[in-house]
A and B are shown apart, each in its own frame.
Chain A
Amino acid sequence: MTALANRYDFTLIFEVTNGNPNGDPDAGNLPRLDPETNKGLVSDVSLKRKIRNYIELAKSGEDSFHIYVQEGAILNEKHRLAYKALRPGDAKAEKDAKLNPKDDAEAIKLRDFMCANFFDVRTFGAVMSTGINCGQVKGPVQLTFASSVEPIMPLEISITRMAATNEAEKKQKAEGDDSSDRVDNRTMGRKHIVPYGLYQAHGFISAKFAERTGFSQSDLDLLFDALINMFEHDRAAARGEMATRKLIVFKHENALGNAPAHALFDRVKIGRNVDGEFRAIDDKRIGNEPPARKFSDYIIEIDRENLPAGVEIIEKL
């Protein structure tokens, strides 16, 4: 596998319709909000989780595409449990005591093994408690928090369920209810949704770190596939409709880069679509416009003028 020869920066633009893209555990699972600007947030780890899940689906444990940080148990583990039950006393290397690598050379071997086998270790890095300094892998791919283009307005939707979980819940319900003729086991719940939000995240890929972990060109293509398709396989009651709308990649000719990342990101401008005309978000006149509810309410412009030498814009989607 040849390592990456170019630095890349990318901006990912995705939308949510009537769903909760990323709940805030601090705020009762309300969509994450920047309290100062009221713009919605999606954490970097939430996006990474979706990339991992997509790779797991797309490659389903193919050699060198395993996923280290997994959600839920995998079937193999269950098989192992069955074997253990059938043959007691056979598995001896199951619970070994805490082991540390003997020296730096061994730590490097362990690191290389993890990078070669696990896509997420190779891509995002991992912390391995080897007790020796080189037990930490920094991956080449770095993602930032995604932030919505405009302030969002989360809605709280109350829903009912025609059943109770247990007797206690039923009793509780009956006590609070005075009307004797309505004794059905109904419980109520809440859902938080964002009616519509267009979010933008930035990403960075270091060619130099890719060299160290063996993150290759085909891994990169797979990563872009994952960014484009990850929401297609992350359907859930809470998510509503989410989709990647644009993936704009800046490819640098030089491994170290040819231009500052922030200057490239500034070339992607997102504005409101007012009768087919681009209006910047901070334009006072859009205050009179109705709130955006679909992707066509926005216009994305890419400034391709006077591109720094050695930078190529690739629109993946």
Chain B
Amino acid sequence: MSLIFAIFTPILIALLIPFLFKRVPKIHTGWFVLIVPVALVSFYATYLPSIMSGSTYIDELPWIPSLGISFISYIDGLSLLFSLLITGIGSLVVLYSIFYLDKKKEKLGNFYVYLLIFMTAMLGVVQSDHLISLYFFWELTSISSFLLIGYWYTRDGSRFGALKSMMITVFGGLMMLGGFLILGILGDTFSIRELIAQTTTLATHDLFVWALVLVLLGAFTKSAQFPFYIWLPDAMEAPTPVSAYLHSATMVKAGLYLVARFTPIFAVSEVWVWLVTGVGIVTLLWGSFFAVKQTDLKAILAFSTVSQLGLIMSLLGIGSIAYHVSGDLVTTYTFATFAAIFHLINHATFKGSLFMIAGIVDHETGTRDIRKLGGLMSLMPVSFTIALIGSLSMAGVPLFNGFLSKEMFLDATLSLQHFNLYAMDTWGILIPIIAWVASVFTFVYSLYFVFHTFRGKYKPEQLPKKAHEAPLGMLVSPGILATLVIVIFFVPNFLGNTFVKPAVVAIQPLTYAVPADVGFTIKAWHGFDSIALYMTLGIFLVGFVLYKLLPKWTAIYQAIPSKLSLNKMYDGLMNFADHGTNRISSLYMTGSIRSYLLYMFAAIIMLLASTLWIKDAFVISFDNLAPIRFFEILISIILVVGTLTILFTKSRLTAIIALGAVGYTVALFFIIFKAPDLALTQLVIETVSVALFLGAFYYLPKLNKHEKGKEDRGFRLGNFIIALGVGVMVTLIAISSHSQKLVPSISQYYKDTVYSEAGGGNIVNVILVDYRGFDTLFEISVLTIASLGIIGMITVRLAKKKGDRKIENK
């Protein structure tokens, strides 16, 4: 129970936060919040030794037992690594936010409630073994991230960014749900572990690839992969602790987690290998290329996050090749998985610290615009040191952990040449080249980020505030992260043994049974025969030259037309969804009843005609027809002439009289078909309704008036065709339904029992009040409602007149 409880702890504490914020205003609410992630990180740390030895833990809380849905907390190497990242970085971020957010000016209650909801959601995502509860937590991260991005909700940018991220991540989330449902149906279970066990049978199914693509859509949108990365730069409107926490260390890695978690299920498909590797490598290049263009500190970091996530994604893709090879090659490719997890941790450390530094610079100078900044090195020495460490690590320079993972990444991409399935041996050569180019750009923007902020000329006149060093408390969190960056470089294998190997076992369960089997060691020095070494040297050389010539070639960014950018496409899509669909619906929603009737009748014709045609239902049989008598023809002629008169008359009075004639003729039909009760009623009703028409006549405009404007009653071919079609359709249906009577009539029973059972002679009346009296009851109700309605309408109108209000005549 303790594991499930641990997931829900933050959200339960969140219930208390508003009280603490209101009742204890003197103490910054963040101090209370800080207890939660610190307690959780120490709780999860106690699992480390047993996870390292290869054991796993499971804890279940039934949610909807009848549907087999429950919260299952499953702790293995991968989920423990993520849980520790979430709670560990969470602690540092909360600590940082205590100094970053002002306790008087900011609505801290809201902030920490959202943050704690997010923490629960994230822990739930990484620990859920049940697909449905995984999706539940997944959407909870989207919602809490939406709330956090829109934290300063009075700013337009915040609201726009929040909406954009919501749209894209929820789109992906829904796609992912579709994938989960397919998986659940195929495997007849929603448990990820049970699905992994039957992956070979799953892969034979046709829907398997659909599930794969849908789940990947969820992962790509969340992890800001190409082309869904566009929400991440706009999410930078959030407070910096949020950017550091959600948009570098945790939420954007939920997609990576998902890919890693589902690798054992999907990696048997080559589509998975290609998609994950390809999208990852494109994102890497794209993000690193556009990061250099940015002028906002956080935007540089956002694009850098996008690019680094692409790097990890492509490593996971290369790692999944291990499922397609055998022998020694397996370890060649599981090495990529190892590198992915290692870089994931490294990225969380250096990117978290860099975001915090960007926040400090913003906080202390009042701007994040890199064109206004410069020369802060002597004013903010501690921040500069931390930023330098983070940036050099990001660039992949020795002495920092980024170097190790960058070398491993290059090695992994180079290993693709050993693989000759799915044209990897020919096209695969592109991947190391793209990786190398992207690393050059990474190097350039890393230097650009740190040196354009802290070196150069100090421009105090352009800064809103006088720059000075940040308070110590604010520097603690980035300081700890920067220390980790260096420590990891010197003892990488400690990290590898503790965190990375158990996670690799979770991703590659076929190859490794316990973490001790994973035989990789991280070395800073590979020897002179390593190609990666020369690639790294090349990166430094070319990157340094490009950085020095930065103003010369940034013009190429202007050459790319902004209309083709993905943001413009997103805006266009939203604009279309908003205004375009509006325009489309106003095309057919004219507000005119006439056109709506046209649609309805046209739909009736099409449906009936196609049903008749498809089912081959039209039958004419002359078997049961009665002989036609002469006066029946005569009355029919009268009926037709009366009806045509209604259609073609030019005066409304004639139409009313002709309608009366038609009604009387119908009564005549009732008589010759031997229905005296119907005839009686029909005559009375016809007279009354003609009288009603006459009563309303006075208020109606003359038909001629309309004819002047050529609006009304003109001959319209469309109307004619529709009317003709409806008539023909109804006739056809009537003929065919008469021609094929499937069941005999029940009227014989009425005839036999009308006197013996009901004691009446008039069969129609007995049916109305005895056999089927319920219908009559509600017909009476209808009449009552109609008469009450008429009284209501008339009196309301009269009351309006008395109140001297103008009656709207529309």
- A and B are interacting partners: no
Task: Point out residues on B near A: beta carbons under 8 Å.
Answer: none
Q: Which residues of A contact B (CB under 8 A)?
A: none
